[in-house]
């Protein structure tokens, strides 16, 4: 059986250094971590997690609360889960997933909580271990999130660059920070461009979005782009437009948000979030809090990027001529 001493010999470091890398990786350099982890991998060394937990008075367990209906957020949360679980595994932690915000969640070292709604925040006072939220909030809790406001500004500006004259926003029907910020990003760009806004809201299901578009089919004018708060909504909008014979990608444009269906739907222009990286950041921040590290960077916001596909037409020169001079 491979021992700690074997790893130390392979890495040309002391046993104390190997122990520090395993138990307190935050206290050693990235270069030293790399050397020791490579030696561990080469020798197939498996740390005794039970002994480590007993010695440190830690369970090595992290609770992940997913307070969302999975049919609405999958595959988004599956990608997030991969980022979280891989990062926890790297540090020797076990992940336990639960769909309810239990007031007595059992033994663990900390909590990652996703999908909190306003009514849930009062329950957090009963959680006495370090926690991190996925999603911005109004209550001062540490969080990781995507820049929802700038993402929708980016989408809306791009629709204008493509020469679309009518920009319609289709958002989710929940008054939560992510939705409000996406909505405001759209509204601000239209106000700056002196254009009329047009907003609709529905549940985050593609078939619901499709029904909304079908019900209002007669009012959609050519040269319209639909700016959607999620890819799921965007897919429903696109399908409904195509079903009624409208030319998506030409007379009509559709832009989504999230970037979770890029491997399944090749034609959707969207705002892609760095979901995997955000999952890793949730773990990084939570473990820093568990280990008592001082930091002012416990609230982290990630930038999104525009992924251009064929659900929008190509950029035109008309935008630069007609709009850029009006936008400060």
Predicted pLDDT of residue 158: 98
Give the domain range for residue 288: 61-146+274-302
pLDDT of residue 322 exceeding 60: no
The stretch 114-139 carries a mean pLDDT of: 91
Predicted pLDDT of residue 328: 39
Helix axes 15-23, 4-11, angle to 10 degrees: 100
Among 2-16, 28-42, 61-75, which is the least confidently predicted range?
61-75
Look at residue 55 and tell me if it is in a domain: no
Predicted pLDDT of residue 53: 57
Strand partners, 154: none
pLDDT tens digits, 48-65: 655 565 555 678 899 999
Predicted pLDDT of residue 49: 57
Round to whole Å and give the CA distance between 51 and 218: 68
Round to whole Å and give the CA distance between 253 and 245: 13
Structure token pair of residue 201: 């809201």
Same domain as 224, residue 121 = no
Same domain as 95, residue 22 = no
Predicted pLDDT of residue 325: 43
What CATH number did the domain enclosing 179 receive?
3.40.50.2300
Predicted pLDDT of residue 295: 64
Same domain as 195, residue 314 = yes
Round to whole Å and give the CA distance between 135 and 133: 6
Q: What percent of the chain has pLDDT over 70?
A: 88
Closest listed residue to residue 15, CA positions, set 23, 89, 93: 23
CA-CA-CA-CA dihedral for 172, 280, 82, 185, to nearest 10: 20
pLDDT tens digits, 254-308: 999 999 876 666 799 999 999 999 999 999 999 999 988 866 668 999 999 999 9
Instruction: Using CB atoms within 10 Å of the CB of residue 263, give its burial: 0 to 12 exposed, 13 to 18 middle, 19+ buried.
Output: exposed
Which residues, including other chains, have CB under 8 Å from residue 270's CB and lie 6 or more apart?
231, 234, 255, 256, 257, 258, 259, 261, 262, 306, 307, 309
Same domain as 310, residue 180 = yes
Same domain as 117, residue 98 = yes
Predicted pLDDT of residue 296: 65
pLDDT tens digits, 195-251: 999 999 999 999 999 999 999 999 999 999 999 999 999 999 999 999 999 999 999
Same domain as 298, residue 313 = no
The stretch 151-174 carries a mean pLDDT of: 97
Round to whole Å and give the CA distance between 197 and 195: 6
pTM (2 decimals)?
0.79
Look at residue 209 and tell me if it is in a domain: yes
Please tell me the total count of domains within the chain. 3
Structure token pair of residue 5: 């001493």
Predicted pLDDT of residue 321: 45
Same domain as 34, residue 131 = no
* Radius of gyration for the chain, computed over Cα atoms and rounded to the nearest angstrom: 24
Predicted pLDDT of residue 209: 98
């Amino acid at each position: 059986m491979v021992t700690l001493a074997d790893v130390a010999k392979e890495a040309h470091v002391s046993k104390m250094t190997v122990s520090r890398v395993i138990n307190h990786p935050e206290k050693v350099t990235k270069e030293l971590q790399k050397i020791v982890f490579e030696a561990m991998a080469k020798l197939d060394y498996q740390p005794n997690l039970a002994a480590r937990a007993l010695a440190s008075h830690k369970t090595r367990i992290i609770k992940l609360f997913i307070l969302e209906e999975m049919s609405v957020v999958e595959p988004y949360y599956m990608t997030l889960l991969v980022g979280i679980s891989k990062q926890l595994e790297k540090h020797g932690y076990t992940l336990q997933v639960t769909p309810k915000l239990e007031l007595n969640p059992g033994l663990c070292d900390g909590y990652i909580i996703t999908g909190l709604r306003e009514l849930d925040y009062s329950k957090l006072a009963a959680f006495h271990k370090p926690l991190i939220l996925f999603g911005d909030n109004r209550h001062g809790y540490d969080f990781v999130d995507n820049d929802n406001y700038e993402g929708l500004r980016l989408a809306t500006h791009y629709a204008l660059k493509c020469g679309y004259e009518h920009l319609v926003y289709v958002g989710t029907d929940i008054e939560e920070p992510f939705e409000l910020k996406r909505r405001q990003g759209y509204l601000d760009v239209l106000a700056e461009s002196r254009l009329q806004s047009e907003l609709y809201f529905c549940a985050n299901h593609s078939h619901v979005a499709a029904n909304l578009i079908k019900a209002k089919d007669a009012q959609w004018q050519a040269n319209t782009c639909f700016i959607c708060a999620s890819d799921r909504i965007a897919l429903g909008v696109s399908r409904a437009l195509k079903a009624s014979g409208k030319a998506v990608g030409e007379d009509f444009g559709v832009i989504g948000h999230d970037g979770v269906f890029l491997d399944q739907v090749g034609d959707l222009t969207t705002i892609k979030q760095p979901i995997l990286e955000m999952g890793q950041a949730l773990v990084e921040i939570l473990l820093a809090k568990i280990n008592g590290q001082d930091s002012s960077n416990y609230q982290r916001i990630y930038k999104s990027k525009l992924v251009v596909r064929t659900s929008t037409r190509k950029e035109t020169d008309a935008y630069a001529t007609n709009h850029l001079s009006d936008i400060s």
